[in-house]
Amino acid sequence: MNSIIGIDIGGTHTDIVHMHHGKLIASLKHLNTDAVEDDLCDVLTSLLSAHPRISKSVDAIHIGSTFALNALLKGHSLSQIGVIRLAGHEPITLPPGYLLPSHIRDHVVKDYATVQGGYECDGRVITHFQEEEIVCALRYFLSIGVTSIAVCGVFSSINPDQEIAVRRIIQEHTGNKLHVSLSHEVGSMGFMERENTTILNAALYELTKKHFAGLKKRFKEIGFHCPLFYTDNYGSLITDEVAINYPIRTLLSGPSNSLRGGIELTQMEEGIIVDIGGTSTDIGKVKNGQMTRSSAKTSIGNISLNMPHADILSLPIGGGSVLEMNDTSFKVTSESVGKNLLECSQSFGGKTLTLCDLAIAAGSIEIEGASKILPESVAVDGLQAILEMILSECRKVKGEEEHLPILLVGGGAALFRGLSSDVIILDQDEIMVANAIGAAMASPTYRIDRVIDQDDPDIIAILKKEAINHIQEQHQISSDKIRLLEKQQYSLSYSGGKQVRFTAIYGW
């Protein structure tokens, strides 16, 4: 790919960049309105009017979107869903969605049906799957106004066949009208968390489709005929079709895009990237030019999920963080003034003491119209203490690899300029649009997460072929470019050593 447009839809701004052979050609920032489609079209039109020759040469548009995350946190306009549990032992110990926040549990999950099926850890079925039960459940769901269905089967990561059969049956009976989210496609081991992940995906589908399904057409009208991609939870590319069907996969694309942007801007092979924004700081580790990933449980707005994601540690520290002052020391509170920085900060005549005020008083940054409200030495000491807090979190992320360099990026990085020789702070203006650059530079991957028999000599080759075929089909990339990025085997203590959980990521 030679010429890419990267767009990052953030909470307040939509950023756009045009990258040519990895070099930044043009960039723009756009203040968001309430209509995400219009913002996207506006920002593209603005770019086009500034650089009229772009559209003909663009190979693809990559979008990083926090739309799903914000929709979930707000909880409005989510679909009414039905849950099908493939669990022949008919568990009544916990109902679907029990661990979700009440606004989702009570208003999104209309009802559920437990049906025969599911697998044991050794691959046997718990009970045999029965097609009539699915038809029956479907009829019931339709009668109560369900518009999207989540399916979660026990050990579907060992064998997804039953879940796939459920989708086929529902689509046959509804003529593809009802959307079906399958748990093995969105989450990993751990039934309740995977079921939650599937429920949220089903809840987000219609809203995502409403806003994003027509985009390709509108982009064409503006003059962009290229394919459209989105970035996912670990900063990889997914097609627009996948992004619309699996909105949950885009939930965490914001922080992973900024990390990817940091990697691209610095060509970092190994190290720690710290993205300091207005309200939060994201810390991630880079290995072999890639960000590290995790399948461990993750928590978003108090929702416990188990989908694979970039391994990022987020701290509630940013340029707009509100500080409490005790004598000459400062405490960072969990509050932030966010986009109202210039109105609220004391340096600009406001009433709130922010991290930004410290940086102005310390002389790390200069902003027109700002006054220094503290003695320089006090401010420098305060900033240093806060930087030390961030660095101590970085040391946790480093683990044993103490030699790794620490790089500060993002709009808030400059606040800490000149304070410590332990960190590198980039001087480029590109830092401000690192997210969009990250989206532009994202590449496709395919993730395998299966329980396999160690004695089966062919299985890994089969899975590899599946991964390569998938990437080739969706992204038109020649197979010799696709390589193994990451591989892990976990022993499963119950299986007597024969079965292992195998995860691998292929990409380029």
Partner 1 sequence: MFSLDMLHHLSAGMAFLGSGGGGDPSLRQAMARYHCEQFGMPEIISADQLQDDDIIVPLAFFGAPNIGQERIASGKELPALLHHITCYYGKKPKAIMPAEIGGGNGLTPMLIASELGYPILNGDLIGRAFPKLHMAIPHLLGINATPAFVADIFGRVTRFDNLSPEELEKAARKHVITCGSSAAIACYIMTGKQARTSIAKGTLTQAFEIGKALSANRLQSIITQYGGRYCLQGVITHIQHYNQDGFLHGRVTICSENGEDAYLHFQNEFMHAEGSDGKIISTSPDIITLMDSDHHSVITTDQLRFGLCVDVVTLPAPNIWYIEEARSMVAYHPIKEEGDVR
Nearer to partner 1 among residue 171 and residue 495 (C-beta): 495
388 forms part of the interface with partner 1 (CB under 8 A): no
Nearer to partner 1 among residue 455 and residue 480 (C-beta): 455
489 forms part of the interface with partner 1 (CB under 8 A): yes
User: Is there a contact between 201 and 306 (Cβ–Cβ < 8 Å)?
Assistant: no
397 forms part of the interface with partner 1 (CB under 8 A): yes
396 forms part of the interface with partner 1 (CB under 8 A): yes
101 forms part of the interface with partner 1 (CB under 8 A): no
506 forms part of the interface with partner 1 (CB under 8 A): no
Phi/psi of residue 35, nearest 5 degrees = -105, 105
Residue 375 has which token pair? 């003695």
Please identify, among the stretches 19-27, 86-94, 136-144, 324-332, the one whose residues bind partner 1 according to the rule CB under 8 A: 86-94
Residues 308 to 337 in contact with partner 1, rule: CB under 8 A: none
95 forms part of the interface with partner 1 (CB under 8 A): yes
Instruction: Compute the least distance from the CB of residue 477 to partner 1, in Å.
Output: 30
Q: Which of 31, 121, 367, 389 contacts partner 1 by CB under 8 A?
A: 121
User: Each residue of 64-88: b (16+ CB within 10 Å) or e?
Assistant: bbbbbbebbeeeeebbbbbbbbbbb
User: Is there a contact between 18 and 27 (Cβ–Cβ < 8 Å)?
Assistant: yes
What distance in Å separates the CA atoms of residue 202 and residue 147, rounded to the nearest whole number? 9
Nearer to partner 1 among residue 21 and residue 128 (C-beta): 128
Instruction: Compute the least distance from the CB of residue 245 to partner 1, in Å.
Output: 24
Map 37-73 to HEC letters: HHHHHHHHHHHHHHCCCHHHHCCEEEEEECHHHHHHH
Q: Which of 29, 110, 398, 464 contacts partner 1 by CB under 8 A?
A: 398
Nearer to partner 1 among residue 97 and residue 254 (C-beta): 97
CA distance to 2, 161, 189, 194, 501, per residue, from 492 (Å): 44, 22, 12, 18, 7
490 forms part of the interface with partner 1 (CB under 8 A): yes
Burial of 223 (0-12, 13-18, 19+ CB in 10 A): middle
How many residues at the interface with partner 1, by CB under 8 A? 38
Instruction: Compute the least distance from the CB of residue 454 to partner 1, in Å.
Output: 11
Helix (H) or strand (E) holding 181: strand 179-182
Please identify, among the stretches 202-210, 323-331, 473-481, 487-495, the one whose residues bind partner 1 according to the rule CB under 8 A: 487-495
Burial of 473 (0-12, 13-18, 19+ CB in 10 A): exposed
58 forms part of the interface with partner 1 (CB under 8 A): no
403 forms part of the interface with partner 1 (CB under 8 A): no
Please identify, among the stretches 2-10, 172-180, 338-346, 488-496, the one whose residues bind partner 1 according to the rule CB under 8 A: 488-496
Instruction: Compute the least distance from the CB of residue 398 to partner 1, in Å.
Output: 6
Instruction: Calculate the CA dihedral of residues 357, 15, 298, 290 and round it to 10 degrees.
Output: -100
422 forms part of the interface with partner 1 (CB under 8 A): no
Strand 293-294 relative to strand 298-300, pairing: unpaired
CA distance to 26, 80, 106, per residue, from 102 (Å): 44, 14, 6
Residues 180 to 239 in contact with partner 1, rule: CB under 8 A: 189-192
Instruction: Calculate the CA dihedral of residues 376, 379, 381, 383 and round it to 10 degrees.
Output: -140
Nearer to partner 1 among residue 263 and residue 272 (C-beta): 272
Residue 342 has which token pair? 């210039």
Contacting positions for partner 1 (CB under 8 A): 87, 89-95, 98-99, 118, 120-122, 124, 126, 154-155, 189-192, 395-400, 488-497
